[in-house]
Amino acid sequence: MPKLSKEQFRLLLWLSLPSSFFEVTSDHHLHDVLYNGLHDYKDEKGKKYKFDIRTLQALAANKLVDFETVYYCGLEWTRYTITDAGRLLTLNTVADFYV
Q: Quick check: is 1 in a domain?
A: no
Quote the radius of gyration of the chain (alpha carbons, Å): 14
Across the range 12-35, mean pLDDT stands at: 75
Q: Which domain holds residue 86?
A: 6-98
pTM of the shown model:
0.76
Structural domains counted in the chain: 1
- Count Cβ atoms within 10 A of the Cβ of residue 75 and give its class: 0-12 exposed, 13-18 middle, 19 or more buried: exposed
Q: Quick check: is 26 in a domain?
A: yes
Q: Tens digit of pLDDT for each residue in 29-88?
A: 555 666 666 556 666 677 777 777 788 889 999 999 999 988 888 888 888 899 999 999
Per DSSP, helices labelled H in 3-83 are: 6-15, 53-61
Q: Tens digit of pLDDT for each residue in 75-89?
A: 888 888 999 999 999
User: Which pLDDT score, from 0 to 100, does residue 24 have?
Assistant: 80
Cβ neighbours of residue 57 under 8 Å, at least 6 residues apart?
Answer: none
